Chain A
Amino acid sequence: MENAKLKIIKKKDVLKFLDSLKKEYDIFVPIEKNGDIRFSKFNSEKDIPWNYRNTKIPPKEIFFPQTETLFSFEAGTSTLSNGSMTFTPIDESKSSAPGNKNYLIFGIRPCDAQAFSLLDKLFGGDDFQDPYYLEKRKQAIIISLACNKPQITCFCTSLKGKPDNEEGADIILFDLGENILTKPITKKGEEFIENLDSWFKEAKKSDVDKKNELMDLSLKKICSGVNLQNIKEKLDEAFDISFWNEIHQKCLGCGICTYLCPTCYCFDITDEIDHVAGGLAPSRGKRIRCWDSCMFPLFTLHASGHNPRLTYKERMRQRIMHKFNYCPENFKEIFCVGCGRCIRNCPVNLDLREVLVSLMSLGSLCKDKKI
């Protein structure tokens, strides 16, 4: 998009700007809470933490919350012969969506915006569509904030990202200090800015120069990287190699890397019931879905007791293969955006970059004997 569409808004006006949109949008912004930053409902009392690096919990939770009600149900006049409920499900896919209000996601990092475009492929798709994710997603406008200061765990440039990556966002913002430079990416973003024209003024050449300078500097700061060229092809041959025998050793098997990953989407579906006070018979309940993790042994445990991914080894392999081989096969995309959350938060410093580097450095992967 040509420079003519670049606009400027004063940083000190942003809160007022967002406040004016409150009626029309459910606005999500990064907000500091308990020492961490997390996307939460906009509150005009709280300033945008412009210098924030990234949230601990990825903003995927806005469209794909950790717990979500699929539908609720109530006990009818009759119950089943075993005391459980008869059938009156109430679809919640509409009620969990924003309704008349659109979503405005303000200030998410470009890597997390890119993650949305990956999740779109999973929850969309030709055969089955997931209304819970899509209803919210399609009504949202995504405004990302380019990174002036990447972290040492950032490695987006090894994937498709960079500090001002545009994929997945409708508008991208650049923090120039006193001013915020806005650049529309999609038609939706362009219209959004046009409709709110009074808040913006044309960007000057000096603003654009400053933005370019900041981005050049930022890009240089991403110093960790892995050459992932042909990783998919490499992994095609890698399922049975002895590499997996050691790489998982220090893994504790917790869910941090998957829960905090902006692209991990695996979920569980369970039912929850309420009991009438004092009674045994359930009165109402809901079917919910919640985040699950391939790192948990129960994830694949059959009712018969058989478990195809019995040990840490198989589960670690699944996580790596899923992101870097299965998804590239099924969605033509690596499901990793290089945000570094899994690296930063791993309790044993099991660094994904290191795993990838050693994978890539393996010579031609002649299949070792089955292990």
Chain B
Amino acid sequence: MNNPYLPMPVTIKKITIENEARDIKTFDLVFNVKKDNEKFKYTCGQFAEISMLGIGEAPIGIASSPMDEDSVQFTVKKYNTGVVTSALHNLCPGDMIGIRGPYGNGFPMKDFEGKNLVIIGGGFALTTLRSLTRYILHKKNRDHFKDVTVLYGARSPGELIYKSELREWEERDDINVYLTVDRGDENWKGRVGLVPNVLSEVAPSSKNSVALICGPLIMVKFTMLPIIDLGFEPDKIFFSLEMRMKCGIGKCGRCNIGTKYVCKDGPVFTYQELQGLPNEY
């Protein structure tokens, strides 16, 4: 019997510090065993259990695109109470860890084809949305999707992650990028304002569009008002949820919202689906 609890060995190829507070890092992982690489076929929005032997596991969204062949990327925020995230942040390139997955449903990319995408991210939660954006911008895929709008905000300029990639996106003409910060600094020339307000300003059309929202609970909550005002239907609004998880495969019983398990039935839910679930997340 295939054992889903066994992690696959991976080596850290590169570590990128993403923010000024230095508590968000991106890890580029390479599979030690080639076969594992083939087994690990994922879609945008899925996650994996990052495993450190002797320390534990943590579910982390996959930040790289399925089109990226050379490595799988995870962007990890370190929490002082998080045992695994703290230990991960102490590692160096060349160190070996484990991953198991991919898990979860991911975004329904096929359904998004032929549609405009409004991608709204806040703070550290851009990770799986970045996976999705990279996927769409890939030359093999770009034609399948219509207009792509990225609206991304963080508390301060230093807290915006994937900076160099954001710059690249801004320079392209097949994607609209709006960056905003809650508080600017002397070097910040861009927008200052909260994501929900900027969204109302930008006012992307909801016609033939889907909206994808990931961010802190409070941001998501306040983004709902303008997004509904813009006319997005509940089944066209997508979220990626977080819950405490252990097994990642729907067995250990903790990450459910009502009858749905975030690890298995999620983490991506539409607003319509969430409306049918109890408010317990």
Contacts and interface: CB of A to CB of B under 8 A. Distances in A.
B280 A308 contact: yes
Contacts of A363: none
Interface stretch (B132-140, B188-196, B256-264): B256-264
A55 interface: no
Interface string B85-97: 1010011101111
Contact of B7 (A89, A125, A240, A370): A89
Given A82-B87, A84-B52, A282-B54, A93 B3 contact: yes
27 contacts: A81-B90, A81-B95, A84-B53, A85-B54, A87-B7, A89-B6, A91-B3, A127-B264, A128-B4, A129-B1, A131-B1, A131-B3, A131-B5, A132-B5, A134-B1, A239-B278, A239-B280, A267-B246, A287-B5, A289-B252, A292-B252, A300-B255, A301-B244, A303-B85, A304-B81, A309-B280, A326-B259
Contacts of B1: 93, 129, 131, 134-135
Contact of B91 (A73, A80, A123): A80
A128 B251 contact: yes
A258 to B, nearest CB: 10
B55 A84 contact: yes
Contact of B53 (A131, A271, A314, A325): A271
A89 B5 CA distance: 11
Contacts of A130: 4, 251
Interface string B1-26: 11111110100000000000000000
B280 A314 contact: yes
Interface in A291-327: 292, 294, 299-306, 308-309, 314, 321-322, 325-326
A190 to B, nearest CB: 26
A86 B32 CA distance: 12
Given A89-B7, A239-B278, A266-B254, A303 B82 contact: yes
A78 B256 CA distance: 39
A127 B101 CA distance: 13
Contacts of A89: 6-7, 53, 98
B254 A292 contact: yes
What interface size band does chain B fall in? 35 or more
B26 to A, nearest CB: 17
Contact of B253 (A86, A132, A265): A265
A91 B243 contact: no
Contact of A86 (B85, B96, B279): B96
B92 A71 contact: no
Nearest to B58: A303
Nearest to B52: A84
B217 interface: yes
A345 interface: no
B9 to A, nearest CB: 4
Interface of A: 70-71, 73, 80-82, 84-87, 89, 91, 93, 122-123, 125, 127-132, 134-135, 239-240, 265-271, 273, 282, 285, 287, 289, 292, 294, 299-306, 308-309, 314, 321-322, 325-326, 329-330, 370
B79 A87 contact: no
Nearest to A97: B1
Contacts of B57: 269
Contacts of B256: 322, 326
Interface in B229-264: 242-244, 246-247, 249-259, 264
Contacts of B4: 128-131
Given A82-B91, A89-B7, A267-B253, A73 B79 contact: no
B53 A285 contact: yes
Given A89-B7, A91-B3, A84 B54 contact: yes
Contacts of B257: 308
A73 B54 contact: yes
Given A87-B96, A89-B7, A127 B250 contact: yes
A170 B108 CA distance: 44
B56 interface: yes
A346 to B, nearest CB: 20
B145 to A, nearest CB: 29
B6 A71 contact: yes
Closest 9 CB pairs of A and B: A266-B253, A303-B82, A82-B90, A128-B249, A81-B92, A303-B79, A131-B1, A329-B259, A87-B9
B281 interface: yes
A299 B246 CA distance: 10
Given A85-B54, A122-B251, A80 B95 contact: yes
A81 B250 contact: no
A81 B250 CA distance: 33
A271 B257 CA distance: 27
A27 B54 CA distance: 34
Contacts of A123: 251
Given A122-B251, A273-B54, A303 B3 contact: no
A30 to B, nearest CB: 28
Interface in B146-163: none
B24 to A, nearest CB: 13
A120 to B, nearest CB: 13
Given A80-B95, A240-B278, A73 B53 contact: yes
